[in-house]
Amino acid sequence: MDKNSFVISETDLTLEDIAFFLKNNPAIALDPLTVKKIKTSRKIIEDIIKSEKVVYGVNTGFGKFADVKIKKDETAELQRRLVLSHAAGVGEPMPLEIVRLMMLLKVKNLSQGYSGVRLEIVQFLIAMLNKNITPFVPAKGSVGASGDLAPLAHMAAVMIGEGETLIKEKGCIKYLNGGEALKKAGLTPLTLAAKEGLALLNGTQAIQAYGLWSLVQARNLIKIADIVGCITLEGLLGTLTAFDARIQQVRRHPGQQKTAENFRKILTESPIIESHRYSDNKVQDAYSLRCIPQVHGAVRDALDYVQAVFEWEMNGVTDNPLVFPDNGDVLSGGNFHGEPVALAADYLGIIMSDLANISERRIEHMLDPSVSEMAGFLTEEGGLNSGFMIAQVTAAALVSENKVLAHPSSVDSIPTSANKEDHVSMGNFAARKAAEIIQNVEHVLAIELICACQALDLRTPLQPSKTTQNVLDIVRASIAYWKEDRFMHRDIVLAKDLCRSGKIVEAAEKVCGCLN
């Protein structure tokens, strides 16, 4: 794929593809073989309609009404009413980029030829993406049972000229009626045919969108955590002994070995580390330094598992019923159930919470003069200045909040649809919580970054490694040394933006090479 295009084909999507889509907002297109599969699948549904054979979701009601047969001339109205009645979400809107990702994932799901929709349905979703028509999708209202019914219904409502869209103009979000948004873009609202409303609404694409967005951020943050951890290790005059390759190898965990390797790469020939290599009082560091390979490494290994689950899910088919073109069977099952991704999303929230936990402890060590042997709260004129005192309080608040958010949603279930849907996943909430946790982690690591850079400056004339010096230079280009108290919030936001932009990782890898 070039920077401006993104082709949906039979090839599986990867997390790297998702990161590319989120970063570049490319034009979406369908591969010709995919077009053929969609058409083949649709013909089976049209043959069923002609034969008047009773098939769930094609010519019946839904849920508890599955045994109610629908007349042929009422199928279009059935689909319209299904969309409107299920668009029952509430609360703040899902972020625009996550809604757009949800739409892309729905395109991928429908394009595999197991849903029986017309090609026009897939093409319409693609047109909406390419013309930047983003539905207003309330964040709350899905239990992750038949997938994400309410969020996807709000998406589908715009496709039929109903609902609302969100437009970002000059940094402000504005609402526009769905029909007006389509007209403005030169699109005519769809009339959904048999099976199509159900195909649009069934699936876990909202859970997937939140989860995949979170994974893209998490993959960046685990590298950030290693880089920032290295700066902190130098700032606290820590020892590199605990990162020796032999220690990691005997425990076997690959993530632990990769983390320790990163630290050795970043801190190679560090004058600060060398300055106390043989110091009698620097034999062992606190766990938040000494056990970084074990903690960051465990997060790494867990992220591999979560990523595998979400990549399986986005390349799988979560519709119901499913159309099998080989023999024309239309089978009703439970692929829409969100449990696989609900469990993974809960796990994602838990593991990323722990990345913030250990980061906050390192922050505290830097601020405590009895531990760091530096100026209290990293300010040379304490009393008149508070330094980084409340930055650590903010980090502590976010870490504590994460502990509540990390409680798993997937352990809960509540029967819906007159006990037809008697076990649900709560996956949407699990994924939304994971996204919120990751944003908290991002801020905690940003706080550690500015504290660690301050600590390095306070260690002058001792010099850091060439890699950490390059990171320090990037930070100092936009965030000055803390000589006296100033508006702290701005520094935290600038540091967070630096982390998310990729500049911190780029600065490190420019010197030490590619990091795990």
Tell me the per-residue pLDDT of 371-381, one tens digit each, with 9 for 90 and over.
Answer: 888 899 999 98
pLDDT at 449: 98
Domain range summary for the chain, segments of one domain joined by +:
5-203, 212-512
Q: Which residue has the higher pLDDT, 4 or 435?
A: 435
- What residues contact residue 146 under an 8 Å CB cut-off, 6+ apart? 63, 201, 202, 320, 336, 337, 421
Q: What percent of the chain has pLDDT over 70?
A: 98
Q: Each residue of 210-223: b (16+ CB within 10 Å) or e?
A: bbbbbbbbbbbbbb
pLDDT at 1: 58
Alpha carbons 2 and 6: distance in angstroms, whole number:
8
Q: Per mean pLDDT, which range of 108-122, 133-147, 273-287, 396-410 is the poorest?
A: 273-287
Whether the link from the prior residue into 189 is cis, omega within 30° of 0, is no
Report the DSSP beta bridge partners of residue 176: 165
Q: What's the whole-model pTM score?
A: 0.96
Alpha carbons 375 and 61: distance in angstroms, whole number:
71
pLDDT at 167: 87
Average pLDDT on 331-341 reads 95
Alpha carbons 298 and 378: distance in angstroms, whole number:
30
| Average pLDDT of the chain to the nearest whole number | 95
Instruction: Mark whether 56 is an active-site residue.
Output: yes
- CA nearest neighbour of 159 among 134, 141, 195: 134
216, 22 Cβ separation under 8 angstroms: yes
pLDDT at 280: 65
Q: What tokens does 352 get? A: 């990323």
pLDDT at 423: 94
In the chain, count H helices and then E strands: 21, 9
Q: What tokens does 344 get? A: 């993974």
129, 103 Cβ separation under 8 angstroms: yes
pLDDT at 171: 78
Decide if 5-203 and 212-512 have a common fold. no
Q: What tokens does 402 get? A: 């994460």
Q: Per mean pLDDT, which range of 76-80, 344-348, 363-367 is the poorest?
A: 76-80
Kindly indicate the confidence band of residue 111, based on its pLDDT and cuts at 50, 70 and 90: very high
Average pLDDT on 253-270 reads 98
Tell me the per-residue pLDDT of 159-216, one tens digit each, with 9 for 90 and over.
Answer: 999 999 998 887 788 999 999 999 999 999 999 999 999 999 999 999 999 999 999 9
Give, in degrees to the nearest 5, the angle at Cα 464 between 463 and 466.
Answer: 110
pLDDT at 10: 95
Q: Per mean pLDDT, which range of 28-37, 120-129, 280-289, 314-323 is the poorest?
A: 280-289
Q: Is 485 helix (H, G, I), strand (E, B) or coil?
A: coil
- What residues contact residue 383 under an 8 Å CB cut-off, 6+ apart? none
Q: Which residue has the higher pLDDT, 59 or 254?
A: 254
Q: Per mean pLDDT, which range of 160-174, 275-289, 405-419 is the poorest?
A: 275-289
Average pLDDT on 15-34 reads 97
HEC profile of 381-421: CECCECCCHHHHHHHHHHHHHHHHHCCCCCCCCCCECCCCE
pLDDT at 496: 98
For the chain, the C-alpha Rg in angstroms (whole number) is 26
Q: Per mean pLDDT, which range of 25-34, 324-333, 463-472 is the poorest?
A: 324-333
How many C-beta atoms surround the C-beta of residue 466 within 10 A? 15
Tell me the per-residue pLDDT of 458-471, one tens digit each, with 9 for 90 and over.
Answer: 999 999 999 999 99
| Amino acid identity, position 461 | P
| Amino acid identity, position 139 | A
**Assigned CATH class of 5-203:** mainly alpha
Is a pLDDT exceeding 90 seen at residue 402? yes
Tell me the per-residue pLDDT of 40-81, one tens digit each, with 9 for 90 and over.
Answer: 999 999 998 888 787 877 777 776 676 778 788 888 898 999
Which residue's entry shows tokens 């820590």? 238
Domain topology for 212-512:
Fumarase C; Chain A, domain 2 (1.20.200)
When mean pLDDT is compared over 277-291, 408-422, 426-440, the highest value belongs to 426-440
Kindly indicate the confidence band of residue 417, based on its pLDDT and cuts at 50, 70 and 90: confident
Q: Phi first, then psi: what are they for 286, rounded to 5°?
A: -60, 160
Q: Per mean pLDDT, which range of 71-80, 288-297, 300-309, 311-320 is the poorest?
A: 71-80
pLDDT at 281: 66
Q: Per mean pLDDT, which range of 3-7, 56-60, 188-192, 269-273 is the poorest?
A: 56-60
pLDDT at 424: 96
